[in-house]
Amino acid sequence: MRKEEMLMNWKRISLALIVSAMITTLLIGARAQSIQRNDQGESGDGEQHAKLQGTWNVTLRFPTCNVTCTCPGGVPNIPIPTLNTYLKDETMLVALGGSLFAGPGHGSWERINHNQFSARFKFFLFNPAGMLRGSEEVRKNILLTGPDTFEATSTFDVFDTAGNITAQGCIINETATRFE
């Protein structure tokens, strides 16, 4: 009888271990799917969250033109096309379409809350002879207004080649649609 009791106890223990292993495997699989969905802009419940990641067609408009804050063409609110790419690792790339005298921009971004983000990037400026004349640093506050649209207010600071600031706090208004 003692042997039979031991055998029954082993069977119960084995069954409990198998059931525990199965539950653990199911929980790990469910968590992995939730993480994968979150990386793609969804919650674990399948709810779609605001997602900045991807490439965007952005239109810049400089509302103020003066000696300190110059605008392209010298006229306010001329639409300037750019491409902004927000990468999964919270870095970003910017291709400026309004000037032959500006290089590509590189920077980073982060989520502030559900549909608000901030970004910061830098690009180099060149004179008509192709020589470096300085750089520009841009800070953006981004608000997703839909799954494929955003509005942003940016400020930019301009630096000469020695790193001295020559213009500060100039404003740019932006609208964007997702490039697909």
Write phi, then psi, for 56 (nearest 5 degrees): -130, 140
Same domain, 76 and 38: no
CA atoms within 13 A on the CB side of 118: 5
Q: Which two tokens stand for residue 52?
A: 């900045």
Same domain, 31 and 84: no
CATH number at residue 123: 2.40.128
Residue given tokens 């970003």 in the structure block:
92
* Euclidean distance between CA atoms 179 and 157, whole angstroms: 27
Containing structural domain, residue 98: 54-178
pTM over 0.75: no
pLDDT in tens, 72-107: 778 899 999 999 999 999 999 999 886 789 999 999
Same domain, 26 and 84: no
Q: Is the pLDDT of residue 51 over 70?
A: yes
The structural domain count of the chain equals 2
Same domain, 66 and 143: yes
When mean pLDDT is compared across 11-20, 49-58, 116-125, 126-135, the lowest value belongs to: 11-20
Q: Contact, 121 vs 136, CB < 8 A?
A: no
Q: Which two tokens stand for residue 63?
A: 């509302």
- What is the reported pLDDT for 45? 41
* Burial bucket for residue 42 (CB in 10 Å: 0-12, 13-18, 19+): middle
Listing DSSP states for 109-159 in one string gives EEEEETTEEEEEEEEEEE-TTS-EEEEEEEEEEEEEEETTEEEEEEEEEEE
Same domain, 102 and 13: no
